[in-house]
Amino acid sequence: MYEKIIYFEDDIPLSQVVVEFLEMEKYEVLHFTTMPRGGLEEIIDIVKAPPFVVLMDVRLDGDNGFDICHLFKHHSFFVDVPVVFMSGLIGEDDILLAYEAGAYDYLPKPVTLKTLSAKCKLIRKFTHHTADLKTQVSTIESVAMDAMTTSSELGGILRFHEKIAGVNALQLLAEALVAQLATFGASVSVMFSSIDDKVVYHSDDGQEYELEKQVFKMLKNQGRIYSWSNRTLFNYDGFSVLVRSMPIEDEARMGILKDQICLLLNGVEGRVRGIINELQLKASEDNIRMIGKTIGKLVVQIQTSNLALSEQFEKVINDLEVDVSEEIANLNLLQSEEDILMGLIKSASENAGNIFEQAKTKEQAYTKVMIELLSRMNKNVPN
């Protein structure tokens, strides 16, 4: 049985190409140019079962894609169905509106068919795990509620600071932070910046939302606290925390919650600096060890090469003297002529030996310098 896709697009030539392609990919596509008169209930009567994704244009014939997305995400039948926008509008405000409406992702037009195919496969995999994720989230919420009934939020913050003192990985810190914020009744995601421009992202449901990652990057420089709708972003050096469920209907509670989250994150900021420093130190140590191993191998190679070359040189000279002596004996030279010739050969051999020894001495000095350097490097690298 083919899996269903709901597709909103009023550009008929474009929609025909996309529908034909998706059908070739073994999907059942229900195409709409605008919202039907019967609204979502009419769509439900047509699809019978929830689709695995809704593809949405922003500007439709008489309708606004953001408004339609909002309707989908607030209806129990479609609440778990990801909505992906495909639009030529790529401004910051458009992306924020899509995120606020509940969209899963935002693809700027023109979208290649290859990209669309890959995105559909990824989302289909995501929706297949929705039931398991709901169970996990429910378990997390239950644990969080139990924790809140046994201790105050401030006490939990102090215990959390003690707990993370021994955490030495950003991923583990992200998971611990999300779990702790869950005890405040908050739905959150966090994103840490590591070395080499790497990021560590973690959300409370275990999923990675590409559009949310874009929001983190877009709003990184918007100040320490940036709020819109019922969402608040807390920006710190090295990481940001997005709370999606601020109690905007209770102003007093929201103020207390912001203060407590800041108190919690102030401690996290220090631990993040520590972990980043440890990662940088480890990277430096690894580089030093690698250089040390290379120098060590080079020293061994030079020493081995010198020994072999010295033995070969000595053998060549000895063989030369023996061969020359034998050949001279066959020439029937006078003793004085033979002495002169052998003297010249020995002098040349001695000169060649001196040159060889000078070269070997220089290489030994170079080897000594490398050994001293290697010794100093080993002293500076902890075991």
Domains in the chain: boundaries: 3-128, 134-280, 281-380
> With respect to CATH, is domain 134-280 assigned 3.30.450.40?
yes
Whether 232 and 226 have beta carbons less than 8 Å apart is answered as yes
pLDDT at position 285 is 67
Domains 3-128 and 134-280 share a fold: no
If DSSP codes are grouped into helix, strand and coil, which group holds residue 49? coil
Joined together, the tokens standing for residue 179 give 């779990």
Q: What is the pLDDT of residues 239-285, one digit of tens each?
A: 999 999 999 998 888 888 899 899 999 989 888 888 888 777 776 66
Q: What is the pLDDT of residues 16-32, one digit of tens each?
A: 999 999 999 999 999 99
Eight-state DSSP code of residue 83: E
Q: What is the mean pLDDT of the chain?
A: 82
- Ranking 39-43, 103-107, 378-382 by mean pLDDT, the lowest is 378-382
Reported as a pLDDT band with limits 50, 70 and 90, residue 146 is very low
Q: Which CATH class is domain 3-128?
A: alpha beta
Give me the half-sphere count of Cα atoms (radius 13 Å) on the Cβ side of residue 156.
21
End-to-end CA distance of the chain: 60
| Average of per-residue pLDDT across 301-308 | 65
Distance of CA 352 to the CA centre of its chain: 60
Eight-state DSSP code of residue 95: H
Joined together, the tokens standing for residue 187 give 């739905």
Whether 57 and 89 have beta carbons less than 8 Å apart is answered as no
Whether 164 and 173 have beta carbons less than 8 Å apart is answered as yes
Alpha helices in the chain (DSSP H): 12-24, 39-47, 65-73, 92-101, 113-128, 130-150, 153-164, 170-182, 210-218, 251-330, 335-380
Whether 172 and 271 have beta carbons less than 8 Å apart is answered as no
Reported as a pLDDT band with limits 50, 70 and 90, residue 323 is low
